[in-house]
Homo-oligomer: A and B are copies of this chain.
Amino acid sequence: MNRQWRIARYPRADEALGPAHFNWVEQAVPSPGEGEFLVRTLGLAPGPAQRGYLSPGHSAFYGTVPVGEVMRGRGVGEVVASRHPEYIPGDIFSGSLGWQDYSVQRPRGAEFVFSTRRIAAPLRPLPTTTLGMLGQAGATAWFGLVEAGAFRPGDHVLVSAAAGGVGSMAGQIARLKGAARTVGIAGTSEKCRWLCADLGFDAAINYRTENLGERLRELFPRGIDLFFDNVGGEVLNQALANLAQGARVAVCGYIATDYAAQPGAGPANYRFLVYQRARMQGFVVFDYWQRFSEPEAALTAWYQDGTLQDCEDLEEGLEKMPDILASLFTGGNRGVRLCRVAPDPAHLPLLVRGGR
């Protein structure tokens, strides 16, 4: 059987995303046509952008998923049947698998979430190495820092939603690449402790209980060189007022105002871009698809030698996907949220994790 989550209905503007918006369906496993292959889903990577698939008029890139269709989502899987000469059963594949056990795939180019990739040297644990810390979350943090943020060793770096998946990787990568200071912003004191005690952030700010502006002035007396922003809203606005000369804001997301019933206020402090000859640069990780081996190599080495700390939050079971996605909008996750749908194939080499 092919278990699936299909769209039941779209959330209303004032409604939080939840299990009510999905239907659990069980169907026969499909068969690949000529030039296609069948993939069994092993892991899925829920991300905040997926909320847009249920929001008509919102998702500029990808479009909504029609009601009644299988929920779209990237994942990693194993080729189990093939009518394509280059894809052989046993191959490990990442692509837009959807929230289901099986999907029929064909190779596709670098078209954002629809892009496909045959994994040349897969390693267990697959969710970690392909979708998570060493995969897409890591690559997003990497290219956001390096490309959009033009990271320079010695930078004083601020990361918002630092306890989130991309944020917890961005802070660690900044540290490992030689940031002079890495500060995270998070929404609970427990997350703040985790950032400093476990992930090596130099400091963390609880934006719910602390005065953000004051703390930024304290922690960045000479200004923020690089701000990796996942949040937008007032966090972005306060950070803009504390930029150093020549600062770069890597705009990764804006979860504070995205999907809000009322459109959020823009960052009035953008005027500091002039004072500080600073920039805000948006980016989309899929633009760097052809260069994913760069972060993979560096992050894998740091993972193996134990300098990159574990910041993964791995759930088990396809049935949990609606709750996992919803949790990304309520601050419920800590680190890179992933879902293992089926066990990793035992024949894959195990990535040895050092430093423990």
What residues of chain A have their CB less than 8 Å away from a CB belonging to chain B?
A: 60-61, 232, 237, 251-254, 257-258, 263-284, 287
Contact = CB atoms under 8 A, between A and B. Distances in A.
A265 B264 contact: no
Copies in the complex: 2
B266 A277 contact: no
Contacts of A283: 274, 277
Contacts of A252: 274
Nearest to A282: B273
Contacts of A270: 232, 251, 254, 266-267, 270, 280
Nearest to A247: B282
B274 A263 contact: no
A281 to B, nearest CB: 4
A273 B277 contact: no
Contacts of A237: 266
Which 7 pairs across A and B sit closest by C-beta, in order of nearness? A266-B266, A273-B282, A274-B282, A266-B268, A266-B267, A279-B281, A60-B275
A155 to B, nearest CB: 18
Contact of A253 (B232, B257, B268, B274): B274
B254 A271 contact: yes
Nearest to A273: B282
A254 B271 CA distance: 7
Contact of A284 (B61, B269, B274, B281): B274
Contacts of A265: 265-266, 268
Given A252-B274, A282-B275, A266 B263 contact: no
Contacts of A276: 282
Given A237-B266, A265-B268, A270-B267, A280 B280 contact: yes
